[in-house]
Structure 1
Amino acid sequence: MRWRGLSGVLTSQACTLSANRLLTVAVPWLVLERTGSAAQTGLVVACQVLPYAFTQWLAGPLLDRIGPRRISAAGDVVSAVVLIVPALLGTPPLWLLTLMLLVVGCADGPASAAKRLLVPFAAADAGQSTARGVGLATAVERTATAVGTALAGWLVATLGGGRALWVAAAMLGVATLIVTLTVTDPVRDRGRDDESYLTRLRTGTAFLRGNAPLRAVTAMFVVTNLLDQALMAVLLPVWARAGGHDATVVGLALSTVGLASIASALASAGFGTRLPRRLTYLIGVLSSGPTRILVLALGLPPEAVIAVYALAGIGSGLFNPLLETLQVELIPAALRGRVQTLISAWAWAGIPVGGLFGAALLNLGGLTAALWVCGLAYLAAVLRPVWRVDWSVPVSAAPPAEPESRKLRIRLAGPGAAARVPVRRN
């Protein structure tokens, strides 16, 4: 029974992520079938994606106050109910489909953040380290991305876009049931009776602003997500076309990253706590970040590019669980909902402009220059946290009961730092 909560959280995540991957395939297909317009398809998809990070941040105080278990269940229920509208009303008009996806995006952000917050507590209940729980959660996410998208394509081709939405609703319903039956909420931050929602929101913002290492990592997320989007949306396809390659090379490179990261995330869950943290971070970010861009700038053949992307996947599966673990260790349990959702919101901030940034670089200097600029910018971004973060393992790496959070805050806070705890997701 010790693994019941952790198994429940991971299984629920698998269902939710698979439903999301199904939507990423079914919705564009459904809109294209209805309208034949790429512009309208992009607009409808954006209505689901854009609220995701923003509503996560807004839900932060609620996650800390009423608990992530309830937020997770409520968000998944709302999304499931909205997605069964086509079953009740027939094929919805475009405006209704857009509104449905807007509601799904608003509900999915807080629900996803809630499951992320539940992982370290469920790992502690199972007698496992935070690093192991986070490593398993990362492996679930990467598996859903690699396998779920292919399954989504098969379902859409077999059932059609409209009926595929029913399958997504069923997956979300199963996720709700699993969380409700298997997961226990952590101790919640009741706060003061006179503490308003906005005060709680400002408290999370002040904590992040006063924590230099967390700020460095957050800035790294913003820059690297922007550059990743520039690479995947613009630079990689342009490189393939310029070299006379077809989309198969692009798909193979990206799928290689995903599959390799599953294996390394499982390895991180198995023995990640025994690896030196600073060195693991360095190897992970250097192999998974700038190398994917610079290998294109060097003009290497597709076989070499795919091999480098495989190494990038291994590095990605190693350092992402490490960064997640550090967040859990650095942020007191009572503030974790507010601070982690704020970091996620900042991390997403660069994604919408990434494609535009890549296109602007192409127009200004051409493909090779754009790749070198992005590769060197990526290198600078990932190296900054190496010296801004204390990578030492805390005295107690056990996940955070509230008293331990207070001890961690006192031990790590620098002289004169009131709300400061130095050290520290695509």
Structure 2
Amino acid sequence: MTVVLQRSAFVRLQVANVSSGVANGVVMITVPWLVLERTDSPARAGLLAALVSLPGIFVSPIVGGLIDRVGRRAVSALSDLLSCLSVLLFVVGEVLGTLGFFLIAAFAVLGAVFDPAGYTARKALIPNAAEASGMAVEKANGRHEGFFAVGWMLGPAVGAWCIEVGGPILAFALTSGMFLLAAASVRSMRVHERLAAHHEEHEHFFDGLRSGWRVLRADRPLFVFTIGLTLMSGMYMPIDTVIFPTHFESLNDAAGLGAVMSAIAFGVVVGAFAYGRLAKRLAAPVLLRIVVLGSTLALLPMGLLPSTTIFVVFAFLTGMAWGPFNPLWNSGACSLSTG
């Protein structure tokens, strides 16, 4: 069947991209705030952060194969629709008066199951949307990352505003609408899309996963890089999912929490855009050391829990120092796939 392409395909993809970024940014500060508000227990907030990380560990490795077999638009739209429903469960639970810690944890973990698939499927759609819109893929990639970062930056501020005005439940209601908009935008795209060749050759699903694992293991620097990223992410996670929310919830300052999280995201955007120039002047190992040391040094003063203004300044510096990491990681992955 002939597909009539849309010049607006890339715009529609970016509507979904920004909407999802905002929605995830809202959830990032609203869930721990809700737990602390209902239980006054940082330990439970930490437990929830650990539980929410588990779905990504098990889902992420199979997402690529799922997209190859089901389709990029279908996986993206279905993932966002299910995310919308999982967030609506918070609203339903509150209306019914049953929203305690265990239901909050269950709904949060359920939502975390769908995020990796939607995020990956949208990135996989970039070449299709670029082709339909007559745009170079490299340019489309850069704009896609930039728009997602903007959404991720706006999300915490929007979440903080919702908490201040109407409480966490208003934030969840708005988030469900953002996920629904993302699903509708991707579903309305008309692009050339076909299943991967290995699907047509009936390669077994888990054989493909094992093949990818062997390729990664064969590149020792990238493999060590991946393990290092996993460990650093695990160590940092309690900071923005437990420590920051606990501090600002104790001050009843949702706006302060939103400002800090948005400052980190804004810093990441600045650092990421600076990567191109930095990469021309610095070798990858040197740049990696600067990223790790710089972000660590900028993060340390926040451990003293200073005033909100100083908090925001160091949050921005932390994000800016860390910003080149993702482009650096992408470059390593691309060199593996093209080497």
Question: Do they fold alike, i.e. is TM over 0.5?
Answer: yes
In the alignment, is residue 285 of structure 1 matched against residue 291 of structure 2? no
Offset at residue 149 of structure 1 (A): 0.4
Offset at residue 148 of structure 1 (A): 1.4
Give TM-score scaled by structure 2 length.
0.74
Equivalent in the alignment of 2:249: none
CA distance in 2, matches of 1:233, 1:84: 21
CA distance in 1, matches of 2:139, 2:164: 37
Give yes or no for contact 2:90–2:107 (8 Å, CA) kept in 1.
no
In the alignment, is residue 85 of structure 1 matched against residue 89 of structure 2? yes
Give yes or no for contact 2:18–2:148 (8 Å, CA) kept in 1.
yes
Equivalent in the alignment of 2:60: 56
CA offsets 1:366-411 (integer angstroms, 9 cap, x no match): xxxxxxxxxxxxxxxxxxxxxxxxxxxxxxxxxxxxxxxxxx5xxx
What is the count of residue pairs matched by the alignment?
Answer: 320
In the alignment, is residue 327 of structure 1 matched against residue 333 of structure 2? yes
CA distance in 2, matches of 1:142, 1:61: 26
Equivalent in the alignment of 2:38: 34
* Distance 1:10-1:278 versus aligned 2 partners, 3 A rule: farther
CA distance in 2, matches of 1:323, 1:110: 20
In the alignment, is residue 74 of structure 1 matched against residue 82 of structure 2? no
SS at match of 1:182: coil
Give TM-score scaled by structure 1 length.
0.61
Match of 2:207 among 187, 195, 199: 199
Offset at residue 152 of structure 1 (A): 0.3
Equivalent in the alignment of 2:250: none
- Amino acid across the alignment from 1:12: A
Equivalent in the alignment of 1:9: 13
Equivalent in the alignment of 1:100: 107
- Amino acid across the alignment from 2:292: G
Gaps of 5+ in 2: 245-254
Match of 1:171 among 178, 184, 204: 178
Match of 2:222 among 195, 214, 217: 214
CA distance in 1, matches of 2:91, 2:259: 36
Give yes or no for contact 1:22–1:148 (8 Å, CA) kept in 2.
yes
* Distance 1:58-1:45 versus aligned 2 partners, 3 A rule: same
Equivalent in the alignment of 1:261: 268
Give yes or no for contact 1:287–1:311 (8 Å, CA) kept in 2.
no
How big is the alpha-carbon RMSD for the aligned residues of Structure 1 and Structure 2? 4.2
Percent identical: 24
CA distance in 1, matches of 2:238, 2:39: 28
Offset at residue 252 of structure 1 (A): 7.9
- 1:19-418 to structure 2, matched below 5 A, reads 19-88=23-92, 90-91=95-96, 92-94=98-100, 95-123=102-130, 125-182=132-189, 184=191, 186-191=193-198, 194-226=202-234, 228-229=236-237, 256-266=263-273, 272=276, 277=280, 279=282, 281=284, 284-294=287-297, 313-314=319-320, 316-318=322-324, 320-328=326-334, 330-331=336-337, 408=338, 412=339
Give yes or no for contact 1:231–1:293 (8 Å, CA) kept in 2.
no
Gaps of 5+ in 1: 237-247, 332-407, 413-426
CA offsets 1:348-377 (integer angstroms, 9 cap, x no match): xxxxxxxxxxxxxxxxxxxxxxxxxxxxxx
CA distance in 2, matches of 1:280, 1:160: 47
Offset at residue 311 of structure 1 (A): 6.2
Offset at residue 51 of structure 1 (A): 1.0
Offset at residue 50 of structure 1 (A): 2.4
Offset at residue 4 of structure 1 (A): 2.7
- Amino acid across the alignment from 1:196: H
Give yes or no for contact 2:156–2:262 (8 Å, CA) kept in 1.
no
Larger Rg: 1
Give yes or no for contact 1:284–1:315 (8 Å, CA) kept in 2.
no
* Distance 1:315-1:128 versus aligned 2 partners, 3 A rule: farther
SS at match of 1:289: helix
- Amino acid across the alignment from 2:327: P
Give yes or no for contact 1:262–1:317 (8 Å, CA) kept in 2.
yes
Offset at residue 211 of structure 1 (A): 3.3
Give yes or no for contact 1:14–1:141 (8 Å, CA) kept in 2.
yes
